């Protein structure tokens, strides 16, 4: 049983799960929102607000519904932060996100 668990739970092992290895090299509409966020943070090379990330994705994919996009980005940012894929930085009552 231990071998099964160790093989399938890799998100806490920094040697097996590197954020930099999971960043896509180019933007594609078929990427998950988590991958799109990581791509944008890597290419911008600066901490970004959730609204800045949403606007950047909306520029790349203008057909997306902006309300649903904001909710998806917010949820995905919280999950990426929870699993230490992004860092949170307080910024005047808001939060900026960056790569670790």
Each domain of the chain, given as residue ranges in start order, spans 2-98
**Residue 54 — left, alpha, or beta (φ > 0 → left; ψ -120 to 50 → alpha)?**
alpha
pLDDT tens digits, residue range 36-94? 999 999 999 999 999 999 999 999 999 999 999 999 999 999 999 999 999 999 989 99
Q: CATH classification of 2-98, choosing from 1.10.10.10, 3.40.640.10, 3.90.870.10, 1.10.3720.10?
A: 1.10.10.10
Please list, residue by residue across 69-87, b when 16 or more beta carbons sit within 10 angstroms of its beta carbon and e when fewer do.
Answer: bbebbeebbeebeeeebbe
pLDDT at 96 over 70: yes
Q: Is the full-model pTM beyond 0.85?
A: no
């Amino acid at each position: 049983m231990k071998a099964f668990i160790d093989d399938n739970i890799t998100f806490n092992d920094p040697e097996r799960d590197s954020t930099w290895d999971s960043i896509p090299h180019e933007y594609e509409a078929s990427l998950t929102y988590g991958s799109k966020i990581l791509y944008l943070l890597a290419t911008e090379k600066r901490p970004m607000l959730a609204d800045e990330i949403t606007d950047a994705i909306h520029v790349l994919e203008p057909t997306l519904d902006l309300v649903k996009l904001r909710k998806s980005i917010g949820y995905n940012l919280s999950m990426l932060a929870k699993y230490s894929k992004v860092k949170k930085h307080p910024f005047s009552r808001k939060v900026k996100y960056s790569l670790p």
